[in-house]
């Protein structure tokens, strides 16, 4: 083999390696890891349809997590770029200075989470929880509401045996008889309601000045580099929510949308229509309003963070929680 040929081959291999490297980088750039939970929301129909992948060309890794705290930790590690989390874990993450942005209100929790006591346990009110074992996923909106409810009722949380269980673990512990009560969301909520009594709901606590919501958060640096994807995601979410608002009253256990939600949330299809009806799904215009991304969400995060600090769940507070909230992607989605 002569030297000219060797030089040509070496150059070709170098060029090929560069092309392959660029292709690999391009492919990697069009991938995203999305952390979701088991809440019963229209977003699940989007996962099932593959619409977002088709519209954006991105490869999406949909990863299910047991609670918002798990999602936030995965985002902090860099394993996840976008995730679903409740207002409580988002407030905790912001307080820790995590570089994320709340860009979409997934749902107004309203009455979709509840404190349920086992029938025959003698628990009829918050005060009856003293000395009892109560399960909830720590650093979740349910955990936050449990602590708020106890405080409003004048009960010291230290007088209650609060145990940290993820929703599937809550349902399993309930069936074994290991716990007396639980504060959780569907589908686990539906399972424990069957042999339990509702003591309070997230809505009843929210109406006393402590509203909660679930939101979508994104790594801020990743979002800046992938704006088109985030905007396309917002547009797809708006369509999915609109479809529910328009047709949800007619959904049954056999409706394709219900089957999709049940599949991805590991719920019983017969429980989905009633459970999803407990949530509210803000329109894009409502997302931009003062109630949500226009200011209300930041105030809710600040209030939640202050309470969490009081309870020793976070160490420091931020002067401005508004910098962890952005309405830019909704505005751009409406403009396109």
1 lies in some domain: no
In a domain, 261, yes or no: yes
Of 157, 177, 206, the domain-final residue: 206
In a domain, 121, yes or no: yes
Structural domain including 42 reads: 30-109+212-335
Indicate if the pLDDT at residue 266 is higher than 50.
yes
Q: Does residue 115 carry a pLDDT above 80? A: yes
Residue 138's pLDDT band (cuts 50, 70, 90): very high
Q: Are residues 217 and 326 in the same domain?
A: yes
Number of structural domains in the chain: 2
CATH number for 233: 3.40.190.10
**Same domain for 47 and 190:** no
Q: What is the pLDDT of residue 11?
A: 43
6 within domain boundaries: no
- Looking at residue 245, what is its pLDDT? 96
Q: Which of 113, 185, 173, 121 is nearest to 149 (CA)?
A: 113
Do the domain assignments include residue 12? no
Least confident of 82-96, 101-115, 233-247, 305-319: 305-319
Query: Is the pLDDT score of 124 beyond 60?
Result: yes
Same domain membership, residue 293 and residue 243: yes
CB 109 within 8 A of CB 86: yes
Name the more confident of 31 and 1. 31
**92 and 117 share a domain?**
no
1 pLDDT band (50/70/90 cuts)? very low
Q: Is residue 18 part of a domain?
A: no
pLDDT at 288 over 70: yes
Both 198 and 125 in a single domain? yes
80 lies in the same domain as 229: yes
Residue 11 lies inside a defined structural domain of this protein? no
pLDDT per residue over 151-169, tens digit each?
999 999 999 999 999 999 9
**For residues 255-270, average pLDDT:** 97
**243 shares a domain with 153:** no
**219 in any annotated domain:** yes
229/104 same-domain check: yes
Distance CA(18)–CA(24), nearest Å, equals 10
- What pLDDT, on a 0 to 100 scale, did the predictor assign at position 81? 98
Give residue 134's pLDDT: 98
Residue that is last in its domain, among 153, 175, 206: 206
Domain end: 206, 233, 268, which one?
A: 206
pTM of the model: 0.85
pLDDT of 181 over the 70 cut? yes
Q: Is the peptide bond before 76 cis (omega within 30 degrees of 0)?
A: no
Q: Sorting pLDDT into bands at 50, 70 and 90, what band is 233?
A: very high
How does the average pLDDT of the chain come out, rounded?
91
- Give yes or no for residue 18 having a pLDDT over 60: no
pLDDT of residue 29: 78
> What would the mean pLDDT of 232-259 be, rounded to a whole number?
98
191 and 329 belong to one structural domain: no
Each residue's pLDDT tens digit, 199-229: 999 999 999 988 899 999 999 999 999 999 9
Are both 91 and 123 inside the same structural domain? no
Asked whether residue 181 falls in the same domain as residue 279, the answer is: no
Residue carrying the six token digits 């809550």: 170
Are residue 182 and residue 244 in the same domain, yes or no?
no
Pairwise CA distance, residues 196 & 134, whole Å: 13
- pLDDT in the model for residue 293: 98
């Amino acid at each position: 083999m002569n030297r000219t040929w060797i030089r040509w081959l070496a150059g070709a291999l170098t060029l090929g390696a560069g092309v392959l490297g660029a292709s690999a980088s391009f492919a990697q750039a069009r991938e995203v890891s999305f952390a979701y939970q088991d809440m019963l929301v229209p977003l699940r129909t989007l996962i099932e349809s593959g619409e977002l992948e088709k519209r954006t060309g991105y490869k999406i890794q949909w990863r299910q997590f047991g609670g918002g705290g798990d999602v936030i930790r995965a985002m902090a590690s860099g394993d996840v770029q976008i995730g679903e989390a409740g207002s409580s874990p988002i407030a905790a993450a912001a307080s820790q200075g995590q570089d994320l942005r709340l860009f979409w209100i997934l749902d107004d929790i309203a009455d979709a989470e509840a404190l349920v006591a086992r029938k025959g346990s003698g628990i009829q009110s918050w005060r009856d929880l003293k000395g009892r074992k109560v399960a909830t996923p720590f650093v979740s909106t349910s955990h936050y509401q449990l602590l708020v409810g106890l405080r409003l009722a004048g009960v010291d949380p230290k007088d209650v045996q609060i145990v940290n269980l993820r929703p599937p673990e809550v349902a399993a512990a309930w069936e074994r008889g290991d716990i007396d009560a639980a504060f959780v969301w569907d589908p686990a909520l539906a399972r424990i309601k069957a042999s339990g009594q509702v003591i309070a709901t997230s809505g009843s606590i929210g109406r006393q000045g402590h509203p909660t919501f679930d939101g979508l958060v994104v790594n801020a640096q990743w979002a800046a580099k992938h704006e088109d994807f985030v905007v396309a995601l917002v547009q797809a979410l708006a369509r999915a929510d609109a479809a529910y608002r328009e047709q949800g009253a007619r959904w049954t256990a056999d409706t394709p949308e219900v089957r999709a939600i049940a599949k991805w949330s590991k719920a019983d299809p017969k429980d989905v229509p009633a459970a999803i009806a407990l949530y509210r799904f803000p329109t894009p215009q409502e997302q931009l309003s003062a109630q949500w991304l226009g200011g209300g969400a930041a105030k809710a995060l600040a209030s939640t963070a202050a309470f969490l600090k009081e309870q020793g769940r976070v160490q420091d507070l931020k002067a401005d929680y508004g910098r962890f909230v952005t309405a830019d992607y909704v505005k751009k989605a409406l403009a396109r």
